[in-house]
Amino acid sequence: MSAISERLSPWLFTIGIFAFWELACRIFKIDRFILPTPLQVAQDFGLELSRGGLLANAGVTLQEALGGFALAAAAAGVLGYAIAHLRPLEVLVAPFIAASQAIPVVAVAPIIILLLGAGLLPKVLIGAVVVVFPLLITVVTGLRGVGRDYHDVARVFGASRLQTLLLVELPLAAPTLLSGLKLGLTLSIMGAVVGEFVAADSGLGFMISNAIGNFEVSTRYVALIALAIFSIALFGLVTLLERILLRWQDV
C-alpha cells in the first residue's frame, strides 16, 4: 500500500461509515428522535458552535482531562520507577493495585465528589483514577525492558541514578512510554466525563446528561462527536511527538 493510500484510508473509511449511517436513516425512515442523520447532527453541531456553549463545555472537559492525566502521570512515574527498581515494593503494593482495578470508577466517583465537592478538583482526581493504572503498568514495563547491560555500562562510566534515567532508561523505554501516553490521554477524557455525569453544571458529560434528561437526542451526538474529536486530536499529537522523539531509531 502506498503512502498516499495509507493516509487516505482512515478518511475514506470514516466517510463510508457516515454515508452508510445517512442512507440507513433515510431508507428505513428512522425517526430523528431515535437516531438523527449525520447531516442533522452536523447542523446541530454548527448551531451549538455558534451559540458558544459547545466550546465552553468542551474547554471544561479538556481542562479536567488534562489535569487528571498530569496528576496520574506524575504518580505513575514516581511509583512506577520505584516498582521497576525495587522488587520487594512490587510484592507489597501489587495486591492493592490489583484490588483497586476491581472497583469500577462509576462507584468511586460519587464518593470522591461527596468528599471534595462538585468543583474542578474531584473531576481531575476521577480522571487520574482512571488513567493511573495503565500508565503505571506502562512505566514499569518500559523501564524493566531496558537491558541490564545498559545499566552496567552507565555504572562503569560513573553515571548517577538521575543520569542513568535521563540518558539511558527514558530514551530506550520511550516507545513503550509513548504508547502509554496515547492510551492515558484518551482514557483521561472518559474519566472527566464520568465525573461530570455524577455532578456538574458544565462540560461535555454534563451536556450528554442534560440532553438525556431533556430528550435532546441530537445534542447527545454533538457532545459525543466533540469527545471523539478530542480523543483523535490528543492521539494525533502524541503520535506526532512519537515520530519526532523516535527518529533516532531509523538512523
What pLDDT was estimated at residue 4?
Answer: 67
Q: What is the mean pLDDT of residues 65-69?
A: 94
pLDDT tens, residue by residue, 181-194: 998 998 999 889 98
Per-residue pLDDT band for 76 (boundaries 50, 70, 90) equals very high
What confidence score (pLDDT) does residue 30 get? 84
> Which of the four pLDDT bands, split at 50, 70 and 90, describes residue 138?
very high
Identity of the residue numbered 158 = G
Evaluate whether 216 touches 206 at the Cβ level (below 8 Å).
no
Q: How confident is the model at residue 62 (pLDDT cuts 50, 70, 90)?
A: very high
Cα(90)–Cα(143) distance, rounded to whole angstroms?
14
Whether the per-residue pLDDT at 51 is higher than 50: the answer is yes
Give yes or no for residue 250 having a pLDDT over 70: no
pLDDT of 148 higher than 90:
no
Largest Cα–Cα distance of the chain, in whole Å? Answer: 73
CATH assignment of 44-250, among 1.10.357.10, 3.40.605.10, 1.10.3720.10, 2.60.120.10 = 1.10.3720.10
Mean pLDDT rounded to a whole number for the chain: 87
How far is Cα 228 from Cα 189, in angstroms, rounded to an integer? 10
Q: What is the pLDDT at residue 251?
A: 47
249: pLDDT confidence band, cut at 50, 70 and 90?
A: low
Please report the pLDDT score of residue 158 as a whole number. 87
Share of the chain above pLDDT 70, in %: 95
The pLDDT value given to residue 6: 65
